[in-house]
A = this chain, B = another copy of it.
Amino acid sequence: MALGIDYELQDCALARALEVVGERWSLLIVRDAFYGVQRFNDFLAHLGIPRAVLTARLNALVAAGVLRKEPYQQAPLRHGYLLTGAGLELWGPLYQLSRWGGRHATPGGPHHLFAHVPCGTDLDFVGACPACGGGPVPPTEVAMRPNPARTDDHHREDPVSRALVRPHLLLEPIASAAV
């Protein structure tokens, strides 16, 4: 976040986390990465973020160890941005914050629902599966789908948004990124 001159005096892990993912757009980029977005132009189209800002945020997230660059073709060299182990561990906070936003800041409720893939049960508010018990399920076992109660939504028309209208496994590359 670079709160002024860093945060060296804030004895708090939260401030440290916010330095990494607290800047404008950063957490939305991470969210898109969970949704399967990998390519520069796909982030660009889906978020509507200025190119220079996207460049800066992706580089910062790579430097912080949240994302890594993975080549998907040579000549010309192109790479996608994938979540690292540390990035994958952001699923919990990200999901909970999203649920909070759905309850308290989104008139009409959430736009997407999330289910546990092995059993098909919707996740509870901490990201655990009520049917399977135990703790929160990892993002690799989560599928997202549009909330049927929100069919009135004014959808974006970029390719990424269209790909996300269909039920979809988290972390599975979206259609426009498939070779």
Binding site for B on A (CB under 8 A): 1, 3, 9-22, 24-25, 27-28, 31, 47-48, 64-65, 86, 89-90, 92-94, 96-106, 110-112, 124-128, 135-136, 153-156, 161
Contact = CB atoms under 8 A, between A and B. Distances in A.
23 contacts: A3-B25, A12-B28, A12-B98, A12-B101, A12-B111, A13-B99, A13-B100, A13-B101, A13-B102, A13-B105, A13-B106, A14-B98, A15-B101, A16-B101, A17-B97, A17-B98, A18-B27, A18-B101, A21-B97, A64-B105, A86-B104, A89-B100, A92-B100
**Candidate in A15, A19, A97 with the most chain B CB atoms within 10 angstroms:** A97
A93 B89 contact: no
Contacts of A153: 11
Contacts of A154: 9
Contact of A20 (B16, B86, B101): B101
A99 B48 CA distance: 30
A46 to B, nearest CB: 9
Contacts of A16: 101-102, 105-106
A18 to B, nearest CB: 6
A92 B156 contact: no
Contacts of A126: 92, 126-127, 135-136
A112 B97 CA distance: 22
Contact of A14 (B15, B101, B104, B155): B101
**Candidate in A24, A96, A154 with the most chain B CB atoms within 10 angstroms:** A96
